[in-house]
A and B are shown apart, each in its own frame.
Chain A
Amino acid sequence: MIDLIVAVLREATPMIYVAMAGVLAQRAGVWNLGLEGLMITGACAAVVLTEQTGSVALGLLGAVGTCVILSALLWLVIEKLRANPIIAGLGLTGLGLGGTDLAVQAIYGSEGAVTAPAGIPTLGPGFGPFAVLDLLVVAMPVVVFALWVLLRRTRFGLRLAACGEHPFAARSVGADPARMRLIALLLGGALAGLGGAELSLGGLQIFSVGMTAGRGFMAFAAVIFGAGHPVGATFAALFFALVEYLGIKAQLVFGERAPRDFVLMLPYIATVLGVWISARLRGGVPLSSVEMRDG
C-alpha cells in the first residue's frame, strides 16, 4: 500500500505541476496546448544545466526561466498577433519537442540520454519508505493549496476568472484581460518548468529525447477533467497516475493476459468520458471563449 502511494505520487507530481499551469491558463480563458512543449523544455533545461554547472538549484532556475520565456512567446502570439490559441499551443509543443532534440544533439552530439550528476534533494533516510520522495513532491500539496487560495480567495484570482469567462465584463470594471493572461501564463510557465524538472531530475536524473511521451497532454486532460479547478485537476492527475501504476502491476501479475496497450488507454478513455460528462452537466458550451473583437 505504501509502495503504491509512493509510486503514484512520484508519477503524478510532474503532471500535477504542469496541470497547475494549465489551470491558470484555463482560468484566464486560454486553452494551453503548449503544456507538453513546456514540460519537455523544463525537463531538458533542468538536466542540461545541472550537468553543465553541477548545481541543482541552477538547473531548476534554468528550467523555470526557459519555460517563462516560452510562455511569454505564446502570449505574444496569442494576444498581440491574435493567433488561434489551440494551433499556437500545438506549435509551441512542437517547438519544445524539436528544440530539446536539437539542443541535446548540439551540446552532446548524440541522440542519447543526458545524465545529471545530482538530483533534487530527497527526504532521505529517517522517513522509511518515503525516503525517495523529493522536495518538489513534498511541496506539491502546498503549491496546489496556494494556487487554490490565489484563484478562489484573492481579488487577483477572481478578476482572472472574470477575464477568462467574460472579458467584456472584466474590462468594464477596469481589469485588463491581456495583462491578466500574461501574468497567468508566466506563472504557469514557471510551474510547468518545475513539473518538467521533477520529471527528469526527480527520479532517474536523466533526460532523453521525447521523454514526456504525452504527459503534458495528459496534464491538460487532467485540467479539463478537473473542471479547471486546482484540486480537481490534482485528483485527476493522481487518478491517471494510479491507472498507469495499476496497468504496470497488472502486467506483472497477469503477464500476457492483460494487454498492456489497452490498460494504457484507460486514462485517455477516462478523460474523454470526463469531458463528456462535464459538458453534459454544463449544458454543452465549449469552454473556449475566444474574445469577440471589433474589426
Chain B
Amino acid sequence: MRARLLAVGRAVAFVALALVLCGVLFEAAGFSAPDMFASILDGAFLSDGALLHDLRWACPLFISATGVVIAFRCGYFNVGTQGQFYLGAIGAAVAVAVMPGLPTILVIVVALLAGMLFGALWAFWPGWLRIHSGTDEVITTLMGNFIAILLLIWVTSGPLKDPSGSGQVTASLPVPMADRISDDGGVSALILGITIAVGIAAWVLVNRTAFGVLGGLAGRNPIMVTWQGARLSRLGLGAFMLSGATAGLAGAMEVLGPDGRLVSGFSPTHGFTAVLIGLVANLSVSGSVIAALFFGGLASASLYLPVIAGLPAAAIDIINAAIALFITSRAWPSRFRFRRATR
C-alpha cells in the first residue's frame, strides 16, 4: 500500500514538474501561463459538456493503454500503438466494406474482431522479430507506425476511396448509420460497455492469471522466469499480440463510432498518448482509468482551445511531451533497469 501511494505521489509530482516547464515555455512564447492553464482546465473538465467530450477521447485511449500496460509489464517497449491503432481502423473499414446489407449485429461484431485481428498482426511481426532474433522492438514498432500511416493514406485514397470526397484529406465511404456504434459525439452505452469490459478483462489478466503474473516477473527478470520453466517466447508474443489487439480495437471503434468513416491521418497522437497513460499509471490497469480521463480531457481541450480561447492547440502537445520527458524519472521499478534479449 505504501509503495503504491509513493508511486502515485511520484507520478503526480512529475506531472506537476512537467506543467511548470510548460508554464515557462508558454510565458517565453508570450502567452500568459495562468490564462493558458485556466482555459485548458475549463475546456477539459469544467465547461458544459466537457465531461462527455472527455469520455469520447478517454474510452479509446484507455483501451489502447491497457495494451501498453500488458506489453510494458512484460518488458517490451511496444511504441507501435499508433500503427496498430491505424491497422485496426483499416480492418474495421474493410470488414464494413465487404459486408454490405448484412445484419447490424453481425457487421459490428465482425468489424470489431477484424480490427483486433489487424492490430494484433501489426504487433505480431515486431514481436516475432524481437523474440526470435533479438531485433529491438523500439525501432521496428516505430518504423511500423510510419508504414501504417502510409498504408492508411493508400487505403483511403485507393481501394476504399470515397469518390465524392475532395481536397487534402481523403476518406473512405461512410459506415451505414445502422452499423454505427455511436453518433458523432462518440459516447454511447455500447462504447462505454466495451471499454469497461476491456478494462475488467485486462485487470483480471494482469493481476489474476498466470500469464499476467509471469509476464510481470518476466519484465523484471526474464532469466529467472525461464529457469522457472515458463515459455518466454509464448509470453512475449502473447503480450505483443494482446497489446496490438487492444490498439486495433480502439481504432475499429473510432471508425464505427465517432468518425463514422476511415479518415486519412486521424487521431495522430493517439498512440503516444496511450503510452503516456500507461506510464503515468505506473503500468497499472486501474491507474490507467484515472490517467485516461486526465489525458482524454486534455485531448478534448486541444480541440476547444483554438476555437473558444484562441490559443494554439500545440499547447496540449507540449504538455503531453513534457509529461513524457519526466514521467519515467527514477519511477522505474527494477524491471526497466536493464533489458536483455532472451532467446
The answer to whether B153 touches A102, judged by C-beta atoms less than 8 angstroms apart, is no
The answer to whether B147 touches A102, judged by C-beta atoms less than 8 angstroms apart, is no
Q: How many residues of A contact B (CB 8 A)?
A: 56
- A261-B151, A284-B133 are contacts. A105–B338 as well, Cβ < 8 Å? no
The answer to whether B332 touches A268, judged by C-beta atoms less than 8 angstroms apart, is no
A77 at the interface (CB under 8 A from B): yes
Tell me the smallest distance from the CB of B130 to a CB of chain A, in Å. Answer: 8
A5 at the interface (CB under 8 A from B): no
B4 at the interface (CB under 8 A from A): no
The answer to whether A94 touches B139, judged by C-beta atoms less than 8 angstroms apart, is no
What residues of B have a CB within 8 angstroms of the CB of A286 in the complex? 134-136, 339-341
The answer to whether A95 touches B321, judged by C-beta atoms less than 8 angstroms apart, is yes
The answer to whether B146 touches A99, judged by C-beta atoms less than 8 angstroms apart, is no
Tell me the smallest distance from the CB of B273 to a CB of chain A, in Å. Answer: 10
Tell me the smallest distance from the CB of A117 to a CB of chain B, in Å. Answer: 23
The answer to whether B29 touches A268, judged by C-beta atoms less than 8 angstroms apart, is no
The answer to whether B147 touches A268, judged by C-beta atoms less than 8 angstroms apart, is yes
Q: Which of A65-103 contact B (CB under 8 A)?
A: 73-74, 77, 81-84, 86-88, 90-95, 97-99, 101-103
Q: Of the listed stretches B50-58, B174-182, B209-217, B322-330, name the one at the interface; the rest are far from the partner chain.
A: B322-330
B140 at the interface (CB under 8 A from A): yes
The answer to whether A103 touches B29, judged by C-beta atoms less than 8 angstroms apart, is yes
What residues of A have a CB within 8 angstroms of the CB of B25 in the complex? 99, 102
What residues of A have a CB within 8 angstroms of the CB of B136 in the complex? 224, 275, 279, 286-288
What residues of A have a CB within 8 angstroms of the CB of B336 in the complex? 84, 290
Question: CB < 8 Å: which of B129, B143, B321 contacts A221?
Answer: B143
B318 at the interface (CB under 8 A from A): yes
Q: Which of B101-150 contact A (CB under 8 A)?
A: 129, 133-136, 138-140, 142-144, 146-147, 150
Q: Chain A, 245-284, contact with B by CB distance < 8 Å: what is the 0/1 string?
A: 0000000000000010110110011011001100110111
What residues of B have a CB within 8 angstroms of the CB of A121 in the complex? none
The answer to whether B314 touches A81, judged by C-beta atoms less than 8 angstroms apart, is no
The answer to whether A288 touches B339, judged by C-beta atoms less than 8 angstroms apart, is yes
Q: How many residues of B contact A (CB 8 A)?
A: 53
The answer to whether B314 touches A105, judged by C-beta atoms less than 8 angstroms apart, is yes
A261 to B150 alpha-carbon distance, docked (Å): 5
B231 at the interface (CB under 8 A from A): no
In this complex, what residue of B is CB-closest to A289? B338
What residues of B have a CB within 8 angstroms of the CB of A284 in the complex? 133-135, 341, 343
B279 at the interface (CB under 8 A from A): yes
Question: CB < 8 Å: which of A87, A102, A287 contacts B327?
Answer: A87
What residues of A have a CB within 8 angstroms of the CB of B42 in the complex? none
Question: CB < 8 Å: which of A77, A99, A105, A272 contacts B140?
Answer: A272
Q: Chain B, 303-343, contact with A by CB distance < 8 Å: what is the 0/1 string?
A: 00000000010110110111111111110100011111101
Question: CB < 8 Å: which of A91, A102, A106 contacts B325?
Answer: A91
- A87-B328, A98-B314 are contacts. A261–B154 as well, Cβ < 8 Å? yes
Interface centre among B29, B30, B146 (most CB of A within 10 A): B146
- A99-B318, A106-B29, A261-B154 are contacts. A271–B134 as well, Cβ < 8 Å? no
What residues of A have a CB within 8 angstroms of the CB of B326 in the complex? 77, 81, 83, 88, 91
The answer to whether A84 touches B328, judged by C-beta atoms less than 8 angstroms apart, is yes
A280 to B332 alpha-carbon distance, docked (Å): 29
A2 at the interface (CB under 8 A from B): no
Tell me the smallest distance from the CB of B86 to a CB of chain A, in Å. Answer: 13
What residues of A have a CB within 8 angstroms of the CB of B146 in the complex? 214, 217, 265, 268
The answer to whether A268 touches B321, judged by C-beta atoms less than 8 angstroms apart, is no
The answer to whether B317 touches A98, judged by C-beta atoms less than 8 angstroms apart, is yes
A93 to B314 alpha-carbon distance, docked (Å): 13
A33 to B133 alpha-carbon distance, docked (Å): 22
A293 at the interface (CB under 8 A from B): yes
The answer to whether A90 touches B332, judged by C-beta atoms less than 8 angstroms apart, is no
A292 at the interface (CB under 8 A from B): yes
The answer to whether B133 touches A31, judged by C-beta atoms less than 8 angstroms apart, is no
Tell me the smallest distance from the CB of A20 to a CB of chain B, in Å. Answer: 18
B285 at the interface (CB under 8 A from A): no
In this complex, what residue of B is CB-closest to A292? B338
Tell me the smallest distance from the CB of A231 to a CB of chain B, in Å. Answer: 20
The answer to whether A94 touches B321, judged by C-beta atoms less than 8 angstroms apart, is yes
Tell me the smallest distance from the CB of A260 to a CB of chain B, in Å. Answer: 8
The answer to whether B153 touches A91, judged by C-beta atoms less than 8 angstroms apart, is no
Tell me the smallest distance from the CB of B41 to a CB of chain A, in Å. Answer: 18
The answer to whether B133 touches A290, judged by C-beta atoms less than 8 angstroms apart, is no
A285 at the interface (CB under 8 A from B): yes
Interface centre among A94, A221, A282 (most CB of B within 10 A): A94
B266 at the interface (CB under 8 A from A): no
The answer to whether B330 touches A262, judged by C-beta atoms less than 8 angstroms apart, is no
A293 to B338 alpha-carbon distance, docked (Å): 9
In this complex, what residue of A is CB-closest to B142? A217
A285 to B162 alpha-carbon distance, docked (Å): 46
Question: CB < 8 Å: which of A95, A272, A280 contacts B322?
Answer: A95
A83 to B147 alpha-carbon distance, docked (Å): 29
A171 to B4 alpha-carbon distance, docked (Å): 34
B79 at the interface (CB under 8 A from A): yes
A269 to B142 alpha-carbon distance, docked (Å): 11
A147 to B143 alpha-carbon distance, docked (Å): 27
Q: Chain A, 98-130, contact with B by CB distance < 8 Å: what is the 0/1 string?
A: 110111011000000000000000000000000
Can you list 7 pairs linking A and B with CB atoms under 8 Å apart?
A82-B330, A95-B322, A261-B153, A285-B134, A286-B134, A286-B340, A293-B337
Chain B positions within 8 Å of A, measured between CB atoms, are 25-26, 29-31, 77, 79, 129, 133-136, 138-140, 142-144, 146-147, 150-151, 153-154, 157-158, 272, 275, 279, 312, 314-315, 317-318, 320-330, 332, 336-341, 343
**Closest 7 A-B residue pairs measured CB to CB?**
A284-B134, A94-B321, A91-B324, A91-B325, A98-B317, A81-B329, A101-B314
Given A92-B325, A95-B322, 18 further pairs, Cβ under 8 A: A77-B326, A81-B329, A87-B275, A88-B326, A92-B321, A93-B321, A95-B325, A97-B317, A98-B317, A98-B320, A102-B29, A105-B312, A106-B29, A262-B154, A265-B146, A272-B140, A275-B139, A284-B343
